[in-house]
Amino acid sequence: MVAIRSSSSPGSRYCGAIKQIKSALKIAGIPLSLLALGAAAGWPVFVSPKIDAPRSADAIVVLGGAHDGREEVGIQLMKDGYAPRLIFSNPYGDNDKKMRSICEGTFDFPVDCFVPSPSTTEGEGFEIERMANANGWKTVIVVTFVPHISRARHIISQCYQGELVMVASRPELSIGTWAFNYVYQTAGYVKNLFSHC
């Protein structure tokens, strides 16, 4: 008598499971590949962007955003004598204690604050150009943080006709914060395609 092997034998179930795993890996591989490609493409823009060495300027402007050390970088640049005036963008309102302490504080050097309109990097670019025209500035140091620096350079250079020196704070950021900034800064680039100074 010849034994007939059923299709549900352990060997065939094993082969079926292997096929399912291979199929799942192929399906998962596409989004993982896209994620890796996006991370690699964004690396020089968001993680390792071009940052300028500080040099003499007419003013230092600290852009608004998370309190990630950019305010302290701007103050230190001023103390180091890179410019005669320090200006902070304050899109936060009167409830922000840190900005209130800076804007209402007393320093050994001139400190001014402005509210950008609109409350975006583009609004900050408008104000930098307005102040530069009013004060005859030729060179401005702009301070932000690393993930924002490339987009800020792109947007502000569309508004401001003078020389930009882009300097960044370098806070420790979690993987989640980096991921958020990849998405947020990319969306900001896309939005800027439809609006210009």
| All domains of the chain in start order, with CATH | 59-192 (3.40.50)
Helix-strand-coil split of the chain, %, nearest 5: 50, 15, 35
Count Cα neighbours of 109 within 13 Å in the Cβ-side half-sphere. 16
Please state, rounded to an integer, the average pLDDT across all residues of the chain.
85
Asked if 111 and 84 touch (Cβ cutoff 8 Å), the reply is no
Exposed/middle/buried for residue 151 (C-beta within 10 Å: 0-12, 13-18, 19+): buried
pLDDT surpassing 80 at residue 18: no
- Enter the pTM of the model: 0.79
101-151 pLDDT, tens digit per residue, is 999 988 999 999 999 999 999 999 999 999 999 999 999 999 999 999 999
188 vs 181: CA distance, rounded Å: 10
Asked if 165 and 52 touch (Cβ cutoff 8 Å), the reply is yes
